[in-house]
Chains A and B, each alone.
Chain A
Amino acid sequence: MQEYPASTSIRRVALANGAVLLAYENPASPSVVVAGSLAAGSQFERDEPAGLAHITAQGLMSAAADHDFDALHGRLEGIGADLQFSAGSHTVSFFGKALAEDLPILADALAAVLREPRFPEQEIANLRDEVLTSLHFYAQDTSWRAEEAFNRLLYPAQHPYHREVIGTLASVAQINPAHLRRFHERVYGPAELVIAVVGAVETERAIHTLRSCLDDWQPLVQERDIVPPVPVPPLASLRKERIAIPGKTQTDLVLGVAGPSRFADDYLPASLANSVLGQFGMMGRIGESVRERHGFSYYAYSRMDGGYDRGAWCVLAGVEPQWEEASLDLIRHEIDSLRSRGITAEDLADNQAYFKGRLPLQLETNDGIAATLLTMECFGLGLDYLLEYGGHIDRIRRDDVVAAMEKYWPEDEYALALAGPEPPYHENQ
């Protein structure tokens, strides 16, 4: 029967080059997951075209070492395995999956693309065109446009969250393989690499397989860039932007503030406040009001990103255009109410039970366990965090929740972005 992963069951090895390997055996399924991250996100772009970190991460799978594109993908897909990379502002994340018997092939491919990507001209040209096509599509996507505008309003121009990791049509068009090679050479290294291996593989064998592929990866020749954190100044007032997209039938809105980072002392109380606001039950108080009671939208919920820096804490909703203002009034009312009146003892008990109770489901699959191990390692929570977690949750008090709301949601200071059809709106559009 399930026992939570802990220091007694997780094998953690720090290699001499700085890479950290975590392994956990889960015999429940004949598959294995290899997931991880390394510090190679968009914040490491210097005076280079925006979107370079994104294309570099995607381009890793174009060719590596002695494997060209066909050999690399044919080898993985031929065994039903998968390996994907994606860049964020801080890190590049990867996720691989295979049958347990094929871990050596997956590990070998991962090491090859991380260490010796080739970025061939033709494949990178195709990849660049794929990204440009995606950007054309996103320009018509109401939720993407609203969130992009929201981030611009919320974060100062120097902050990595101000701009989209994928870049812009103008910046991506400039990117060529030489950019990728220089970025890889300068940023990709083992020092801040973390990998979790979870599945039907004995931990020592999993560690040995990964170690043999990565042990001799030499640290970067030059000192990596130090990216000082950029403070997020108070908004001081409402900042609002509306984007009209012809032909759309509904408006997406994002309303919010900069929330706590995952390192903040009040991260858990703020998470609990977020759950009450727009998660618990049928999307918390926001969902209950905007969707269930008034029928203004199909989805209305809140999200708190956390992470390495002060990620967004926001409410997102897709609303009928004629009910935009009414929906916003309801959302603001729920936020104000949570800040001024706090939560009930029942709210607290419900959400504490929810936070603790969801662990068994979260840890049921290899994917879920791997994601949890990475969070524990990357945010310094310790290998026994899951054993201590219940205590952390039980110590949250109602006052802590109000304090988090007062700190992060000052009255009338938020960013609001809307993207949808052009006014005037009609009942039956």
Chain B
Amino acid sequence: MSALRRHVLANGMTILLKEVWHAPICSWWMLYRVGSRDETAGMTGAAHWVEHMMFRGTERFPMGRMDGAIDRLGGIWNAQTAQDYTAYYSTLPVAHVQLALEAEADRMRNLMFLAEDVEAERRIILAERRSAANDPLFALDERMNHCAFTKHGYRHEILGNEEDLQRMDREPLWRFYRQHYVPENVIGVAVGAFESERMLAMIAQHFDAEQYAGITSASAPLPAKRLPVEPAQSSERRFNVEWDGENEFLEMAYRVPSATHEDWYALSVLASLLAGPSGPGSGNVDNRSCRLYEALVKTGRAVAIDGNLSPRCDPYLYHLTITLQHGRDLAEVEGIALAEIERMRAGEIRDDELSRAKKQTRALFAYSSEGVTGQGFWLSFAENLAGYEWFERYVQRIDAVSGEQVQRVARQYFRPEQRIIGWLRARA
């Protein structure tokens, strides 16, 4: 892996540069340190709505111009809103990366934010939410976060509550944009076939401190993150959701610390043993040799197990979603899953299991680093989380995990009073 360089521009914008020379392309990421966790009451969905507004354009780059320009170059250009961040990215021939820098620099400060565009996006986002709501698992996930978080912004559905989406108007959205879309709140990451010095000069030229003098913290102070702290959970929580289909699902979540916590890596190994490979790139590998698959799928009670230890800036959840085989009993499946978790807490971790989880992590890491777009994502994501070293040292940290540590975190975090259980049931 080539060396990575980190800079902070005079206006506070963080820049990461990584040279990768295998193809004449470059991925440019702009990660804003604002996501749905930063929204306040009545403003749920604001981060995602502003993301949509960013594609409505500026006077210089009106809506559609960049879509067409990037496509003409054979590139990609898109965005994603998450709980901890909002990220914009383009991957295109390196000779044209200036176009992406220009457009991103422009829309950070010059978004038109027309009232009619706000209304058009209201309709589109409501359609997006209703499209998502066609899937019963959307309701299950939404209820899970409501049940798990009473104060912290992780309670919010990223798309927003329907009522907030109906009510919110241009002004609070505009303030949200102005408050958070400032250079010192940005991590800019370039990965591709460029010389770092020249790329840095080009970035500095487009994001010059003077141009942003009016919108940096001097005039619009960026508040320190003082997000509500979630009160401790003292007993198991449960909820039920019903739907018109015949399938039934079980979702279980345990409270886990932020991904910056020293226990994170042992938890990642634990998650691998329980429900399949965990870590960057984990969507790439099947999970038919994990403990829960053995206990539930091979015995014909469930058809799929999905474990998800998602790295977050603040304490969040380890999720297990179990798809029941048609006609099976939720209580029985829950009992077996809980027994398996108890067995993990009580028993020892075998050396071969530990070695397997470590080898899996190395493979997953290799897959996640294959393209410049993926590397750009992981570097910006990690920088927001804990510094880019979090990603670069991931394999090394996993390699250092011992069986005793895995057993300890199983006992510490997978306690009954730390869990939330949701059933998605077929309506009678």
> What residues make up the interface of A, taking CB atoms closer than 8 Å to B?
1-2, 26-31, 69-70, 73-74, 76-82, 84, 97-99, 125-126, 129-130, 132-134, 136-137, 139-142, 245-250, 252, 280-282, 288, 291-299, 318-320, 350, 353-361, 363-367, 428-429
Contact = CB atoms under 8 A, between A and B. Distances in A.
Interface string B148-164: 00000000000000100
A80 B363 contact: yes
Contacts of A299: 131
A249 B67 CA distance: 30
A394 B352 CA distance: 57
A291 B120 CA distance: 9
Given A28-B22, A360-B93, A363-B23, A249 B133 contact: yes
B101 to A, nearest CB: 18
A29 B128 CA distance: 36
Contacts of B372: 364
B74 A361 contact: yes
Interface in B1-37: 20-25
B243 A31 contact: no
Category for how many chain B residues contact A: 35 or more
B247 interface: yes
A76 to B, nearest CB: 8
A31 B22 CA distance: 14
Contacts of B338: none
For B24, B133, B324, B370, the residue with the greatest tally of chain A CB atoms inside 10 Å of its CB is B370
B136 interface: yes
A292 B120 contact: yes
B359 A298 contact: no
A353 B25 contact: no
Given A250-B130, A280-B68, A97 B289 contact: no
B22 A249 contact: no
Given A136-B245, A364-B372, A129 B127 contact: no
A140 B120 contact: no
B258 to A, nearest CB: 26
A111 to B, nearest CB: 19
A133 B303 contact: yes
B366 A78 contact: no
Contacts of B246: 136, 139-140
Nearest to B137: A137
Given A357-B72, A361-B74, A79 B359 contact: yes
B24 A136 contact: no
Given A77-B360, A136-B246, A295-B124, A357 B73 contact: yes
B135 to A, nearest CB: 8
B311 to A, nearest CB: 19
Contacts of A81: 285, 363
Given A82-B284, A318-B131, A350 B68 contact: yes
B297 interface: yes
B221 interface: no
B285 A80 contact: yes
B86 interface: no
For A129, A132, A246, the residue with the greatest tally of chain B CB atoms inside 10 Å of its CB is A129
Nearest to B94: A360
Contact of A99 (B68, B93, B362): B362
A56 to B, nearest CB: 18
A363 to B, nearest CB: 7
B131 A250 contact: yes
A350 B71 CA distance: 8
A-B pairs, 8 with minimum CB distance: A357-B74, A80-B363, A295-B123, A247-B244, A28-B22, A358-B74, A298-B128, A140-B245
B91 A137 contact: no
A248 B245 CA distance: 10
A298 B285 contact: no
For A132, A293, A298, A363, the residue with the greatest tally of chain B CB atoms inside 10 Å of its CB is A298
A79 B134 contact: no
A86 to B, nearest CB: 13
Nearest to B126: A320
Contacts of A141: 134-135
Nearest to A134: B303
Contacts of A78: 289, 356, 359-360
B266 interface: no
Given A2-B23, A97-B367, 13 more contacts: A69-B298, A84-B286, A126-B298, A126-B300, A133-B324, A134-B303, A136-B326, A142-B134, A281-B64, A318-B131, A320-B126, A358-B75, A363-B23
A98 B363 contact: yes
Contacts of A318: 127, 131, 134
B92 to A, nearest CB: 8
A133 to B, nearest CB: 4
B76 to A, nearest CB: 7
A79 to B, nearest CB: 6
Contact of A140 (B123, B244, B367): B244
